[in-house]
Structure 1
């Protein structure tokens, strides 16, 4: 194999064996990951609020489906969380009926 850069040329093998690769380079190229725990906490709060209606006569499978839908719809989620328990139940009955 030949490597040509400008007027310079190098000939030889440029492959490295696995033992030649230095895996501990001080991790200079690492980028810190920003974990947004606030979003996770909001999702857990929504889950608890939706599942708390289970005692009101809605089964677990239906409430899980409602939760999945609300997670993807921010405005409906805000409206659901703002409602009283009584109004949440009415809203869920409306969704359940079609």
Structure 2
């Protein structure tokens, strides 16, 4: 709470997460708030986790702006390339596992 708020929940890996469960949804406000709070929390990414009305949390949405999403995907790409370069067999099994889960 307050001007140095760090988000609503910890443990959302690499993110300051702003949790919302409101009747009226204002994505731009939620994302702006999450982006401010990620700085205070010392996290590289901010996101808003929005619960859908009359649905469970797993049916909700995770929202971030395009700039944040690009930074996140670039980090993921770079991490996978490093893993692929230094431990190809580990990367191959990791990639296979996640492709099968999709």
Whether TM exceeds 0.5 here: the answer is no
TM-score, structure 1 as length reference? 0.23
Instruction: Report 1 or 2 for greater relative contact order, CA contacts < 8 Å, sequence distance ≥ 6.
Output: 2
Larger CA Rg, structure 1 vs 2 = 1
Query: Which structure is higher in helix share?
Result: 1
TM-score, structure 2 as length reference? 0.22
